[in-house]
């Protein structure tokens, strides 16, 4: 094939514009993803307790039912929802699992 310089230049320019569009789209998607993650970040143990309690209420599960599901007493559940630092971490995990909440670490 024999391309003249103008044709090659036009094609390279078009490819460069497409590449820039792709870079912009990837950057935008990454920013949107970071924003979604930031909305889910829990900075304090009290926030974790609040989120778990909100999830329980959203699922319309009363304390007695959650007690039966997890084997964790209602008084411990109340302490957990107020301040998870007052209960064992294994208990927090058990309740989170019962409520369908996945705890993960992001670095």
Give residue-wise pLDDT tens across range 63-95: 999 999 999 999 999 999 999 999 999 999 999
| DSSP secondary structure code for residue 62 in this structure | -
76 and 87 Cβ atoms separated by less than 8 Å = yes
Helix ranges restricted to H, 41-104: 45-58, 63-70, 74-82, 89-98
Extents of the domains making up the chain: 1-41, 45-98
Give residue-wise pLDDT tens across range 21-68: 899 889 888 877 766 666 677 888 999 999 999 999 999 999 999 999
What's the predicted TM-score (pTM) here? 0.63
**CATH architecture, domain defined by 45-98:** Orthogonal Bundle (1.10)
User: Which are the contacts of 57, defined by CB distance < 8 A and separation ≥ 6?
Assistant: none
**Residue 60, φ and ψ in degrees, nearest 5:** 60, 45
Q: What percent of the chain has pLDDT over 90?
A: 56
């Amino acid at each position: 094939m024999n391309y003249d310089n103008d044709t090659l230049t036009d094609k390279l320019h078009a490819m460069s514009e497409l590449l820039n569009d792709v870079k912009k789209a990837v950057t935008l998607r990454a920013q949107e993803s970071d924003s979604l993650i930031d909305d889910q970040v829990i900075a304090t143990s009290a926030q974790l307790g609040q989120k778990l309690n909100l999830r329980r209420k959203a699922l319309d599960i009363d304390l007695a039912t959650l007690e039966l599901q997890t084997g964790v007493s209602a008084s411990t559940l109340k302490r957990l929802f107020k301040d998870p630092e007052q209960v064992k971490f294994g208990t927090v995990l058990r309740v989170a699992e019962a409520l369908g909440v996945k705890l993960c670490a992001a670095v």
